[in-house]
Amino acid sequence: MILNQLIKDFLDYLEIEKNRSPKTRENYARYLKRFVFWLENETNKSATSLDASYINNDNVRKYRLWLNRQKNSDDEILKRNTQAYHIIALRSFLKYLTRRDIKTLAAEKIELPKIPSRELDLISIEELNRLLSAPDTNTLPGKRDKAILETFFSTGLRVSELCKLNRDNINLKRGEFSVKGKGGKIRVVFLSERAKKSISTYLEKRLDIEEPLFVNISRSKKIKESLRLSPRSIERIVKKYALATGIMKKMVPHTLRHAFATDLLQNGADLRSVQIMLGHASITTTQVYTHLTDKELQQIHLTFHGKRLRK
């Protein structure tokens, strides 16, 4: 079977059997398409004549070397983590082929590149306070935006998860609700008193009976026909208030997810609990936040170490 057909079957498998999101399918398709493009040029063969036997140690080694020399749209060498995503996609594809008993390179023979520690987009507690207080709550759009920001910080939701919320998802009395995250996994998230108040105040002024929780509001303060806010719209809302409050660093909805996690850890929450609340499949993903709380150890060391030697 030709390689392109096998890739299509693999992408269908990810979507249907593994319940991966459309975005994951799109990303894997792009990464594997790049590999096939390289393979065509390397072997001087058309895609219709390539099969899984062409994925061998020698070709993978050459492909990785080629990837390491590619540049992005800004004419910069591809970042290590971007290169790693290409290799992860290829390994996943090989594992799929093995399950189907298709002869090819074993996925285990491909080592993943070491990825530098991820830099997180963080804001200080002072910046966070300014951001959460920025919306004008005398207006309906301001009430909505205040509810969005407070919900982000209270729950650590991903922007896609927040966009999908409906009114009947939210139990303001209990202060908790279930959300379906990556891979279709359900988790419970919790609303702070501030978040509950903000959502309640916003909903009280909503005169429509539409289902989505966060909706488009026109300049005439009416609910627009294209009801549900999109991830892009929410991203613009967050950036708007960041600029308005003088926060010059990068501000996206995910920044508030980071703020949620670091706030919990710095106030004594254990890593496993934070993992569950964030909806991370692996605790290693959550561990990216631990170096932030470790910064406090420096002050502890400075305060208590070597006190008897100080004279």
Q: What is the chain written as a DSSP string?
A: -BHHHHHHHHHHHHHHTS---HHHHHHHHHHHHHHHHHHHHHHT--GGG-BGGG--HHHHHHHHHHHTT-B-TTS-BPPHHHHHHHHHHHHHHHHHHHHTT-----GGGSPPPP-PPPPP----HHHHHHHHH-S-TTSHHHHHHHHHHHHHHHH---HHHHHT-BGGG-BTTTTEEEEE-GGG-EEEEE--HHHHHHHHHHHHT--S--SBSSEEE-TTSPEEEEEEPPHHHHHHHHHHHHHHTT--S---HHHHHHHHHHHHHHTT--HHHHHHHHT-SSHHHHGGGHHHHHHHHHHHHHHHTTGGG--
Longest CA–CA span in the chain (Å) reads 79
| Pair 86, 67: CB distance under 8 Å | yes
Asked if the structure places residue 120 within a domain, the reply is no
CA atoms within 13 A on the CB side of 140: 16
- Is residue 40 scored above 70 in pLDDT? yes
* Residue 214 in tokens: 């966060």
The catalytically annotated residue of 18, 33, 34, 182 is 182
In percent, the amount of the chain with pLDDT more than 70 equals: 88
Q: What does the alpha-carbon distance between residue 224 and residue 242 come to, in Å, rounded to a whole number?
A: 25
Return the CATH number at 69. 1.10.150.130
| Pair 253, 235: CB distance under 8 Å | yes
pLDDT class of 90 with cuts at 50, 70, 90: very high
The catalytically annotated residue of 18, 130, 187, 254 is 254
Determine whether 146 is an active site residue: no
Determine whether 182 is an active site residue: yes
Return the CATH number at 274. 1.10.443.10
- Is residue 209 scored above 60 in pLDDT? yes
Q: Supply the range of the domain harboring residue 147.
A: 125-298
CA neighbor of 215 nearest in space, from 225, 78, 157: 225
Q: Are residues 103 and 191 in the same domain?
A: no
Asked if the structure places residue 21 within a domain, the reply is yes
> Which has more confidence, 73 or 195?
195
Q: Among residues 83, 109, 135, which one ends one of the domains? A: 109
The catalytically annotated residue of 86, 158, 196, 258 is 158
pLDDT score of 300: 61
Asked if the structure places residue 129 within a domain, the reply is yes
- Is residue 310 scored above 90 in pLDDT? no
Q: Are residues 100 and 241 in the same domain?
A: no
Q: Are residues 56 and 178 in the same domain?
A: no
Q: Are residues 101 and 158 in the same domain?
A: no
Backbone angles phi, psi at 177, to 5 degrees: -160, 165
Determine whether 180 is an active site residue: no
Q: Are residues 178 and 154 in the same domain?
A: yes
Asked if the structure places residue 52 within a domain, the reply is yes
pLDDT score of 309: 65
Asked if the structure places residue 305 within a domain, the reply is no
Determine whether 254 is an active site residue: yes
Q: Among residues 109, 139, 164, which one ends one of the domains? A: 109
pLDDT class of 207 with cuts at 50, 70, 90: confident
**What length is written for the chain?**
311
Q: Among residues 81, 109, 137, which one ends one of the domains? A: 109
CA neighbor of 151 nearest in space, from 173, 174, 132: 132
**What is the average per-residue pLDDT within 160-171?**
92
Determine whether 258 is an active site residue: no
Domain count, the chain: 2
